[in-house]
């Protein structure tokens, strides 16, 4: 497979796939040519893969340090961020030192934020090991950590110097985590590409069986679709990049009220997309079948469709008011207009939001 190029002028980079022309060693030399030192960051479940990556870095002459954070969303915290800064200071890192994130979105967001902050910016290499991080979080430069009042409230834009995707890492990924990643893949179909959505409907069984060709296709396709958006609106300034947030206004409320542990991110996104689509129906923007197709595909992928009944509605609305897309306290939602297309919609009545949460 050809690399996917993310064109961002001086911040351009390649997403490369293992098994294609060129080794990980070539990728490292191309991505961070001036690095002599690297801090490899992993979590307790990806340490084994990180050791392989560390050996490969050392084989091309880099000295390395390693930092391992506890697995799970709770590591996207100020405390773990501080520990990574300490690890960089202990190395000691210089301006060319690479931060190499080996893990899922948690490791990527946390290590990416440390790379953005230390010395006002270190080169960052993403080695995603979950499906979700391969199709979404390793690309596009959003880094950050959570706050008790909301998801990803503290962070920075910091593009990676390169992304290395090896689907073999998925061999150890639990089924629930794999399905969680599929939610973001469904998202790309709904927001950008009706044909890709139909491809997923037709190939759901092969996808769930992790057929290698199907997985390679959906990862590369998702990366290209995300790169197309990021290239046009790198810092979510024009409103275009906000489409990648489809389902997320709800999802972040579910994750926050659920205490960052009840659901995986993709599970929250799945239910969030259904809520957003039902909201679009209530506003008369789409016919019911646009939602029903999402419901059917998300059900096939074993993902939730509705928030847990025990989660109180008002705290969820409160989290939504703090959403980064909200302006002057007014809720803004990304809503479908048809399969393959969405719009950012302002001033949605809160009562309708309550109705879709009930
Ligand atoms: N920056 C972005 O653009 C962006 C996009 C989407 C999601 N996110 C963030 O990403 C996070 C979710 O990412 P995630 O779903 O990858 O979760 P995660 O990083 O928590 O990984 C999921 C679980 O799988 C384990 N794991 C990772 N790779 C493994 C492997 N190969 N084998 C076995 N276990 C493995 C992890 O230790 C963890 O327990 C959320 O915090 C979300 O907000 C960020
Ligand atoms: O890259 C983006 O832009 C996204 O919105 C991708 C989302 O899947 C991702 O969950 C992101 O972290 C959400 O960002 P936030 O700005 O809403 O915190
Ligand atoms: Zn997401």
Per-residue pLDDT tens over the stretch 100-145? 999 999 999 999 999 999 999 999 999 999 999 999 999 999 999 9
Same domain, 292 and 324: yes
Burial class (CB in 10 A: 0-12, 13-18, 19+), 318: middle
Tens digit of pLDDT for each residue in 236-253? 999 999 999 999 999 999
Q: Which of 106, 140, 172 is the last residue of a domain?
A: 172
* Confidence class for position 328, pLDDT limits 50, 70, 90: confident
pTM of the predicted protein model: 0.98
Q: Which of 172, 192, 218 is the last residue of a domain?
A: 172
How does DSSP classify residue 169? G
Ligand nearest to the CA of 104: 1
Burial class (CB in 10 A: 0-12, 13-18, 19+), 112: buried
Residue 21 has pLDDT above 80, yes or no: no
Ligand 2 atom, smallest distance to 229 CA: 3
Residue 18 has pLDDT above 70, yes or no: yes
Q: How remote is the CA of residue 350 from the centroid of ligand 1, in Å? A: 31
What is the Cα–Cα distance from 254 to 277, expressed in whole angstroms?
A: 16
Residue 246's domain comprises: 175-357
Q: Kindly report the backbone phi and psi dihedral angles of residue 117, in degrees, each rounded to the nearest multiple of 5, phi listed first.
A: -90, -40
Quick one: average pLDDT of 216-222? 97
pLDDT for 20? 67
Same domain, 159 and 21: yes
Domain count along the chain? 2
Q: Kindly report the backbone phi and psi dihedral angles of residue 349, in degrees, each rounded to the nearest multiple of 5, phi listed first.
A: -60, 130
Q: Which of 144, 172, 200 is the last residue of a domain?
A: 172
pLDDT for 19? 82
Tens digit of pLDDT for each residue in 252-296? 999 999 988 899 999 999 999 999 999 999 999 999 999 999 999
ipTM for this prediction = 0.99
**Residues with active-site annotation:** 120, 142, 184, 226, 236, 241, 245, 248, 252, 265
Quick one: average pLDDT of 145-159? 93
Mark the binding-site residues for Zn(2+), compressed into ranges. 184, 248, 265
Q: What is the CATH number of the domain that holds 293?
A: 1.20.1090.10
pLDDT for 173? 98
Strand partners for 126: 101, 163
């Amino acid at each position: 497979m050809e690399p996917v190029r993310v064109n961002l002028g001086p911040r351009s980079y390649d997403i490369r796939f293992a098994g294609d022309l060129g080794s990980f060693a070539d990728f490292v030399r191309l991505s961070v040519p001036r690095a002599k030192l690297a801090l490899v960051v992993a979590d307790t479940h990806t340490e084994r893969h990180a050791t392989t990556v560390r050996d490969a870095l050392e084989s091309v002459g880099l000295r390395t340090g390693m930092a391992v954070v506890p697995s799970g969303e709770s590591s996207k915290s100020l405390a773990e961020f501080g520990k990574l800064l300490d690890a960089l200071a202990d190395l000691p890192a210089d301006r060319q030192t690479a931060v190499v994130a080996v893990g899922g979105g948690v490791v990527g967001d946390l290590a990416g934020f440390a790379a953005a902050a230390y010395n006002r910016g270190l080169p960052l290499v993403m080695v995603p090991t979950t499906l979700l991080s391969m199709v979404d979080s390793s690309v596009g430069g959003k880094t950050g950590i959570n706050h008790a009042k909301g998801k990803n409230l503290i962070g920075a834009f910091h593009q990676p110097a390169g992304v290395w995707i090896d689907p073999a890492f998925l061999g150890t990924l639990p089924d629930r985590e794999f399905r969680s990643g599929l939610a973001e893949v469904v998202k790309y179909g709904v927001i950008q590409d009706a044909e890709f959505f139909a491809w997923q409907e037709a190939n759901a069984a092969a996808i769930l069986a992790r057929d290698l060709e199907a997985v390679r296709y959906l990862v590369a396709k998702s990366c290209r679709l995300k790169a197309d958006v990021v290239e046009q609106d790198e810092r979510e300034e024009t409103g275009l990049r906000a489409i990648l947030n489809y389902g997320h206004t709800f999802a972040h409320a579910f994750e926050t009220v659920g205490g960052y542990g009840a659901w995986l991110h993709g599970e929250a996104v799945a239910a969030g997309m259904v809520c957003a689509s039902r909201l679009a129906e209530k506003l008369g923007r789409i016919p019911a079948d646009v939602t029903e197709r999402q419901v059917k595909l998300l059900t096939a992928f074993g993902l939730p469709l509705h928030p847990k009944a025990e989660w109180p509605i008002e705290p969820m609305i409160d989290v939504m008011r703090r959403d980064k897309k909200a302006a002057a306290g007014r809720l803004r939602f990304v809503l479908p207009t048809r399969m393959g297309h969405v719009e950012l919609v302002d001033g949605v009545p809160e009562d309708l939001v309550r109705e879709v949460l009930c």
